[in-house]
Structure 1
Amino acid sequence: MTSEQKQWISATVPVLKENGVLLTKHFYNRMFTHNPELKNLFNMGNQQSGKQQTALAMAVLAYADNIANPGVLMPVVDRIGHKHVSLDIRPEQYQIVGRHLIASIQEVLGNVATPEIVDAWTVAYQQLANLMSGHEAKLYEQKTAQQYGWTGWRPFTVGKINVESTEITSFYLFPSDGGKVAAHVPGQYISVKVFLPEMKLYQARQYSISSTPAQDYYRISVKAEKGAGLDTNGLISNYFHDVIKEGNIVDVTAPAGDFKLAKDLAAPVVLISGGVGLTPMISMLQNLVEQKFTYPITWLHGCRNRSVHAFKDQLDQIVNANDSIEQHVFYDVPTARDKQEGVMEGFLDINKIASLPQYPGTMYYVCGPAPFIRKQYQDLISCGIKKESILFEEFGPALLQLN
């Protein structure tokens, strides 16, 4: 890009702040009208809720804000790249998106979108597309280079189903071809694709792998969604609970995600989870135990009550068998029995844990709903924890701007 084009992009930042979501809503409507086949690729639940439009608007604004040095966005590029690779996004699809994005800029901004601005954004988008697809090409290469790795969608058979709580059920997925699977890094997810008859669409969702790294199967643990007015995300989860049986076939992509245990951990580890956010944590904990991790491990978990506390018995056994592991549990409404067992009442509050490790180098992994993550992150920062030591996984589009 020329310096003049960068100036034109920077000049549109105030307009994007004011009209970003309007622009991205128009963009998605336009793209799905002209290319309806892409509805099978995008999360239509996040379209209905507006989360995807907001996430894209934030991403476009961040790119425009940093147009002079887009390299600072590499952590975000990496996170999005993992999502794209997990959904089998390919370079040619960037061209379709770009065409509709540039047209939307012209149609929404009207006279503001001068030829100079349109030309600048055309070049800027191509630069971003090259950056993203180039990074994703490396991720694809890593998957094919890994033992038993693959790219694209692969059929898996549901070999076992196990109820973990009143809301969460685990599904053990084995390759239908009888082959092996690439070992994941604890914390990562896989994408699973199913056909929803009521929508007449294929829809894919990411689910954290809740098993330890293995070569025979992946286990995902899915929460059933209840209540009226379920969006498509709830329909997918409930499809697993209501429709999927042992022996059924689903399509799966190889493990992805940048929320994962570091390979060179040499300090205590703190796991902080809310609700179904414990699914990647159980993989992390079991892996650390299997690797005979010598540093202290602390797990804090919050949920409504004992009945929805998945893996509780298994976790209690692990903690009781390992002196270096501490567990602190918070229930919204604990019973007298729960309190006798040390369960605390209310929303998870790290300030109530006097023994919370703050040794230099300690890593803090946080997973759960967005409000839960935001509170835990802010509380950790208030305790003096450096943001570089806090990793979090937000289920759904990346809306949190914390670190």
Structure 2
Amino acid sequence: MESRRFRICLIDGDGESVGATAAVLKRLPADVIPFVDGQAGLAALMSDPFDLLVLDLMLDGLSGFEVIERARKKGRNQRVPIMVVSPLLIDDTLVSEEELAVDASLPKPVDLRELERVARSLLRPGDVDSDESKRRKLLLVEDNEYNAELVRLRLGHEMYTVSHAADGASALELFRSFRPDVVLLDIQIPAPNGLEVLKAIRRDDPDALVVMMTAFGSEKVAVEAMKIGADEYLTKPLEHRKLEAFLEEAWVRNRLKSENRQLMARLWLSNKELLRQYKATSAAMRALREKQDELVRVQRLAAVTEAAVSINHEINNPLCSIMGNADLLLRKHPDANADIIRKLQSIERESLRIREITKKLAGLANVVTTQYAGGVQMIDIHRSLSFERTDHEKPPKQSKENAP
């Protein structure tokens, strides 16, 4: 009797991983309905029934956190099991299953075998602790029935569930449906041969443990298989008493390599996040320095402006007296000595110039300094006056009625 197909809602905006994730989940067996954004996925959860929700937390628009919160509150799938896959789960100090109120979680990049195992446990919780689920699955690809039977007798006990294929086409079909933990693959099998089968397996599952079997004297072919991606190789005739120990050692080495790849991928993601934070912090620091420089400029300008206004006020009274007296002398003594007339006129001109300078100092838009004798910095009035104020720096215009 064919088992019921499950319905899985997959919400993952990562185009590179969603295809591989969906392919694994379909083997449960299940119909996988993928969504690339949280809003569309949530809409489906509100209206359509599902047996499992698999989602990433980092989504465009509506985040995974919001999808979980809303799906738990209303809709047809309030009690559906939820499995989260996210780079945020690399470190459980960032976010945990308890905080998310989900049933399972896996860090990205996802170990596809672990993904299948966890999804299966959520869909069929009664099968999790069965003896069958604890046994490793071994796919034996061997066209010699006698040799295949010897391997089945040796390994088909508590540790392994053995499935047998006699040719390459059957091997690939079984690999995709049986999802073995270990593949024991003969090189010399009916088409496609063992090397072609190995290439196809590596395309489907880079982490699968594949042990090649080759006849004595075919070590060169075995080396070629290792270059393609085989994990180990055995030379025929097999020493069946040592086969189990050999496979156990190969299993341990393969798990270590897989874990190392996972750790390297997580390290890469962590470094990528650190680089993003560094760039953001650097940009913020640059903006802060610019603001600080602007604040210093504004404060210095304010101080100079206050001083200039005070100077303008203090100088204006005696300056008006000087100009008034010079004008009075010119009016009372029009026939005075020509040299005296020139000097009085010079006093008037220079007084007017002083008054204009003090007025302009009170309206400086910038402060430009230059070095004076003894290393002292002094304001370069002419260069400072050459700067024009921007609109937001200019004082408001006064009406004639309010003008002083």
TM-score normalised according to structure 2 size: 0.24
Structure (1/2) with the larger helix percentage:
2
Larger radius of gyration: 2
User: Which protein, 1 or 2, shows the higher relative CO under an 8 Å CA cutoff with sep ≥ 6?
Assistant: 1
Please state which structure has a larger fraction of its residues in strand: 1
